[in-house]
A and B are shown apart, each in its own frame.
Chain A
Amino acid sequence: MRTIAVDVPTVEVKNHPGRHHVGCAAAGSATALIGAAGVWGGLVAVFGSAPQMSIGWLLPLSGVVLHLDPLGGFFSVLIGAVAVPVGVYTVGYARHERWPALSLTVLPLFVAAMLLVTAAGSIPTFLLAWELMALASVLLVITDHDRAEVRSAALFYAAMTQLGFVAILVGLMVMATSMGADRFTEMTVVPEPLRDVVFVLTVAGFGSKAGLVPLHAWLARAHPEAPSPVSALMSAAMVTLGVYGIIRIDLVLIGPGPRWWAVLLLLVGAASALYGVLQASVATDVKRLLAYSTTDNMGLITMALGASLLLSGAGAPEAAAIAAVAALLHLLAHAAFKSLGFMAAGSVLAATGLRDLDRMGGLARPMPVTTVLFGVAALGACGLPLGAGFVSEWLLVQALVHASTSGDVVVALAAPLAVGAVALTTGLSVAAMVKAFGIGFLARPRSAAARQARESAASMLTAMVIVAVGCVVLALAPVAAAAVVARAVNVMPTARSAAPAVDFAAVIRLPGLGGSIAPGLLATAFVAALLAAVVAMRWRARRRPPTVQLPLWACGADDLTPRMQYTATSFAEPLQRVFNDVLRPASDIDVTHHSESRYMVSAITYRNRIADALEIRLYQPVVTGVKRAAEVVRRAHNGSVHLYLAYGALGVLVVLVIAR
């Protein structure tokens, strides 16, 4: 079982269980209410006038400027829509996991900070909200701070998010000084060399928040160790704000940029999608799998943005607009299925204490509702028809396939390669999700904890059912989100057009390209075919001899044991072999011989571990370098107060000389 935090607030909580229940209910409902307010405000901004507010006294020098335009409104709706079910879910989850008071307080603040980011109308406000969001999320990640892994993950995450913040800070400061304005509405054109600097800095900063390769490493560490509602909020809402930053700053304010921007976005997106899905398909920790799947989906969205930029520059405005719609629609779909996935994983974690797929299994019987809901999430993540992610991925592929190249070499090369990347990503994500669902929930329990599982609390199930309904609506009738997406896409210069690029209806048509698909009809046909097959089977079964009940075939042995089943590791082993060069697994076999004879074996130990190869290659040298530098700097810190006072005086002197 998971160890429960026994710090001071928790002990207090144990003495007053009633008060803690009230605290959980208050934190959950506050989160849900703030989320509902975000949805309402976002919808007002998308469909109505853009509300603008300026509070001068709140922040020194610049004041707080709030301006919610349709694009910010779209993200506000998205974050609010994730926060409402997560708030409901937290009521049951926090009670079960005995959250300390600090986490309960910070959760609503985290949602508010995220909403503030979407509503920020000036650079200082944006940076302030961004930093508030980052700090709140770090505090939430260390909820379970008694475990060393949680502390290490939180430290790693804090360092990466602050480095990303530095990149964004420098980029936006360069931008603001070169334009001489800090309100988004008053921005003009940035001069050329500085524009590229701003682009690279902001893409690095926002990309690290969005979990794009190679700045994705914090995702796979922080998401598994954070409490599940926090993982859901971070993965479905906070990470999308990285994409919001890229759209807002790089595509809207300083864009649309030159062609290499588009190619860079496409490359980074494709690398993230492929690397993320590959790591997801070999992961054995269900939350780590979902975290890598986030990298994969953010990669797809970045690819769609890059494609939109590339195609609009290459004279294919219809395809560019479709790619932009695909990006926003996939953001919505990802928010729905990923928050559901993390909540379902959290439901399993609360019931069994397990995250390791190799020890799960057989949960379909004791936890039927969670199993079905995780299935809905997994289907969405697969990008297959009837899943939430299907329509958006189809739109992206359509934009890439039908883009008229008109002799443009870059487009002619990039579009087919991008289609290949999307196809490979989708195929591998099917493998990853079949593994997560099949190994985790079906078959027989692989451990005592999985055998003793019980269905989760009603509030958690209710929250998950709400999100699952959202997933189904996005999968079968994306027309529900059409209006919001269309208004938001109109803000993007790569997709601005008089007529809507995608005609959402029962049959989705692409007026510019001539493609069409009907997910609702597909689903109806599928259900009809299934019913017909069942009826036909029943009818044929009349002529067969009567059925007999026999034990499962176990190759003549008495019974099958759970150890004979496929595990997540063995399921992914063929894939791991194929992609050996990318994944670089570390496996070793120890053979212990009998003391009497070398020919007799007493034990064989096999270990297989897949670490993130990029993390080791890229981060380890940096960490080692920083440590070495710290060793050098340490000599200046000898603990003497006199010396420190001298440093202070010297510093003041230097400042005075410079500012003279």
Chain B
Amino acid sequence: MIGWLRKALRVGRIVEPAPPAPFAAPAAIDALRGSMQIRHVDAGSCNGCEIEISGAFGPVYDAERFGARLVASPRHADALLVTGVVTRNMEEPLRNTAAATPAPRVVIACGDCALNRGVFADAYGVVGSVGEVLDSVDVEIAGCPPTPEAIIAALRSVTRR
């Protein structure tokens, strides 16, 4: 534990300087200004987006300083961060998760697969993109996979910090 503390002291802060706050996304909901609790749902992703999300919430990009936080249950969440194309097995859980998230609820589709089925478009186990399964997608993050900067910019468009 001493070594661990020593390393923390030696390395210091490695966080990237924050770029200027982006414009608010048109569909952003005003109630989530300042703080947004996010439940991440992997609807059938290749885990590329997950790696970038963990990068975005890691010490270098540190999304939590902008008021975005990952939580463990949709009951605690304001927003759903959905990655991947929606597969047959995840269709029902995704709907259940959306129903379990209290209103006002924001759906963020992360990555090309979630936006438009991406490279898995014609695969046999695919139901559709997130927009085709849930009624609405409020924030879109394009890219295959999207960079941590893009993810953070999208989250900041809701939290406006």
Find the A residue at minimum CB distance from B96.
A556
Find the A residue at minimum CB distance from B74.
A553
Q: Do the beta carbons of A550 and B100 come within 8 Å of each other?
A: yes
- Per DSSP, chain B at the interface is helix
Nearest-Cβ distance from residue A241 to partner chain B, whole angstroms: 54
A557 within 8 A of partner (CB): yes
Produce 1/0 per residue, B106-122, CB < 8 A to A.
00000000000000000
A558 within 8 A of partner (CB): yes
Find the A residue at minimum CB distance from B75.
A553
- Count of chain B residues with a beta carbon within 8 Å of a chain A beta carbon: 12
For A545, A555, A557, which residue has the most chain B Cβ atoms within 10 angstroms?
A555
A556 and B93 in contact, given A545-B103, A550-B99, A550-B100 (Cβ under 8 angstroms) = yes
B54 within 8 A of partner (CB): no
Q: Do the beta carbons of B100 and A557 come within 8 Å of each other?
A: no
B92 within 8 A of partner (CB): yes
Find the A residue at minimum CB distance from B99.
A550
Residues on A with C-beta less than 8 A from B94 are 556
Q: Do the beta carbons of B93 and A557 come within 8 Å of each other?
A: yes
Nearest-Cβ distance from residue A406 to partner chain B, whole angstroms: 45
Find the A residue at minimum CB distance from B95.
A556
Residues on A with C-beta less than 8 A from B74 are 553
Nearest-Cβ distance from residue B81 to partner chain A, whole angstroms: 15
B97 within 8 A of partner (CB): yes
B73 within 8 A of partner (CB): yes
Q: Give the distance in Å from the alpha carbon of A549 to the alpha carbon of B89 in the complex.
A: 25
Q: Give the distance in Å from the alpha carbon of A556 to the alpha carbon of B103 in the complex.
A: 18
Residues on B with C-beta less than 8 A from A558 are 92, 96
For A550, A553, A556, A558, which residue has the most chain B Cβ atoms within 10 angstroms?
A556
Produce 1/0 per residue, B61-104, CB < 8 A to A.
00000000000011100000000000000001110110110010
Find the B residue at minimum CB distance from A545.
B103
Nearest-Cβ distance from residue B39 to partner chain A, whole angstroms: 10
Q: Give the distance in Å from the alpha carbon of A555 to the alpha carbon of B96 in the complex.
A: 9
Q: Give the distance in Å from the alpha carbon of A550 to the alpha carbon of B99 in the complex.
A: 8
Q: Give the distance in Å from the alpha carbon of A557 to the alpha carbon of B74 in the complex.
A: 13
Q: Give the distance in Å from the alpha carbon of A550 to the alpha carbon of B97 in the complex.
A: 11
Residues on A with C-beta less than 8 A from B93 are 555-557
Residues on A with C-beta less than 8 A from B100 are 550, 553
**Beta-carbon contacts under 8 Å, A537-556 to B:** 545, 550, 553-556
Find the B residue at minimum CB distance from A553.
B100
Nearest-Cβ distance from residue A194 to partner chain B, whole angstroms: 61
Residues on B with C-beta less than 8 A from A554 are 96
Nearest-Cβ distance from residue B78 to partner chain A, whole angstroms: 14
Residues on B with C-beta less than 8 A from A556 are 41, 92-94, 96-97
Find the B residue at minimum CB distance from A557.
B93
Residues on A with C-beta less than 8 A from B96 are 554, 556-558
Nearest-Cβ distance from residue A298 to partner chain B, whole angstroms: 44
Q: Give the distance in Å from the alpha carbon of A555 to the alpha carbon of B42 in the complex.
A: 13
Nearest-Cβ distance from residue A303 to partner chain B, whole angstroms: 40
**Beta-carbon contacts under 8 Å, A394-451 to B:** none
Produce 1/0 per residue, A552-595, CB < 8 A to B.
01111110000000000000000000000000000000000000
Q: Which of A545, A550, A553 meets B73, CB within 8 Å?
A: A553
Q: Give the distance in Å from the alpha carbon of A550 to the alpha carbon of B94 in the complex.
A: 15
Nearest-Cβ distance from residue B43 to partner chain A, whole angstroms: 10
Produce 1/0 per residue, B135-160, CB < 8 A to A.
00000000000000000000000000
Nearest-Cβ distance from residue A189 to partner chain B, whole angstroms: 64
Nearest-Cβ distance from residue A545 to partner chain B, whole angstroms: 6
Nearest-Cβ distance from residue A488 to partner chain B, whole angstroms: 55
Q: Give the distance in Å from the alpha carbon of A557 to the alpha carbon of B96 in the complex.
A: 8
Nearest-Cβ distance from residue B103 to partner chain A, whole angstroms: 6
Find the A residue at minimum CB distance from B103.
A545
Residues on B with C-beta less than 8 A from A557 are 93, 96
**Beta-carbon contacts under 8 Å, B20-62 to A:** 41
Q: Give the distance in Å from the alpha carbon of A246 to the alpha carbon of B148 in the complex.
A: 75
Q: Give the distance in Å from the alpha carbon of A555 to the alpha carbon of B92 in the complex.
A: 11
Produce 1/0 per residue, A483-502, CB < 8 A to B.
00000000000000000000
Nearest-Cβ distance from residue B31 to partner chain A, whole angstroms: 11
Q: Give the distance in Å from the alpha carbon of A557 to the alpha carbon of B90 in the complex.
A: 10
Q: Give the distance in Å from the alpha carbon of A556 to the alpha carbon of B41 in the complex.
A: 10
Nearest-Cβ distance from residue A543 to partner chain B, whole angstroms: 13
Q: Give the distance in Å from the alpha carbon of A460 to the alpha carbon of B41 in the complex.
A: 52
Nearest-Cβ distance from residue A172 to partner chain B, whole angstroms: 62
Find the A residue at minimum CB distance from B97.
A556
Residues on A with C-beta less than 8 A from B103 are 545
Residues on B with C-beta less than 8 A from A550 are 99-100
For B73, B93, B94, B96, which residue has the most chain A Cβ atoms within 10 angstroms?
B96
Q: Give the distance in Å from the alpha carbon of A554 to the alpha carbon of B75 in the complex.
A: 11
Residues on A with C-beta less than 8 A from B75 are 553
On A, residues with C-beta under 8 Å from B are 545, 550, 553-558
Q: Nearest 3 CB-CB pairs, A to B?
A: A556-B93, A556-B96, A553-B100
14 contacts between A and B (CB under 8 A): A545-B103, A550-B99, A550-B100, A553-B100, A554-B96, A555-B93, A556-B41, A556-B92, A556-B93, A556-B96, A556-B97, A557-B93, A557-B96, A558-B92
On B, residues with C-beta under 8 Å from A are 41, 73-75, 92-94, 96-97, 99-100, 103
